[in-house]
Amino acid sequence: MRYLRRPEVLLALLVIAPSALAVPGIDQDLIAQAMDYEDEVCHPVVQHSNDTIPPCLNLVTIETLCTPNGTSPLALKAHQQCMCNGSFFSEWPYCLQCLFIHGLRSERDVAFYESVISTASNSLCAAPAPTAEFAEIFSNVQVAAPYPTVGDTVSSDRAVSQTDVSLYFTATTRQGPGQITGAATAATASVLFTAPAISPTAG
């Protein structure tokens, strides 16, 4: 696996909500402010090695570490194991929850992305032999998915500037990418970046 910048899939989730994109003439300065605020509250710096990693931050880390080292069947199998055997998909809803409680996503936005990730994760993780990486699968599903017509479209910040992860998430399993095993290990890079071993913490 190779180390890359913030994954494009996470940009789709984290940068701007579909509901905001639908607003005619939306102020780009407001979008920039929302992005900065999002980084502050949902991507706070982890101060100690035994602290729970904020889910939004961990999703970026895991997807980056799991970037396939090529497009061969073996590389995609390694990518599948890395993405599906770790905490990526189990933490996704909690990243959405962080965005929701801070007024960065509406109920409809949350419902939309929950539907997209359910379909995309099943497509990747249930495949006996994956033929595409998660980013491609996610993008295709996102384009085809209908936007919900029920649920609140108005969002509000219920935890202004609060960065405490325990507001929306308590780790109950080990956080990080999944282990790559068997023949798929041959598809990893000679130098593999691994996420820190963070054990669950109370609160």
What would the pLDDT profile of 57-69 be if each residue is shown by its tens digit?
999 999 999 999 9
180 by DSSP, 3-state: which? coil
116 by DSSP, 3-state: which? helix
Spatial separation of the C-alpha atoms in residues 178 and 181, rounded to whole Å: 9
83 by DSSP, 3-state: which? helix
- Long-range contacts of range 157-160, CB-CB < 8 Å, 24 or more positions apart? 157/101, 157/102, 157/103, 158/101, 158/102, 158/103, 159/41, 159/101, 159/102, 160/102
The residue type found at 113 is: Y
Q: How far is CA 140 from CA 52, 177, 183, in A?
A: 32, 23, 28
188-202 per-position pLDDT tens digit:
754 343 444 443 333
Spatial separation of the C-alpha atoms in residues 135 and 154, rounded to whole Å: 29
The band of 26, judged by pLDDT with boundaries at 50, 70 and 90, is low
pLDDT exceeds cutoff 80 at 29: no
Spatial separation of the C-alpha atoms in residues 28 and 182, rounded to whole Å: 48
**Sign of the C-alpha dihedral computed for residues 188, 130, 176 and 17 taken in this order:** positive
pTM: 0.80
**Sign of the C-alpha dihedral computed for residues 45, 49, 54 and 59 taken in this order:** positive
Average pLDDT for residues 93-98, to the nearest whole number? 96
Spatial separation of the C-alpha atoms in residues 181 and 188, rounded to whole Å: 10
The band of 19, judged by pLDDT with boundaries at 50, 70 and 90, is low
Burial of 159 (0-12, 13-18, 19+ CB in 10 A): middle
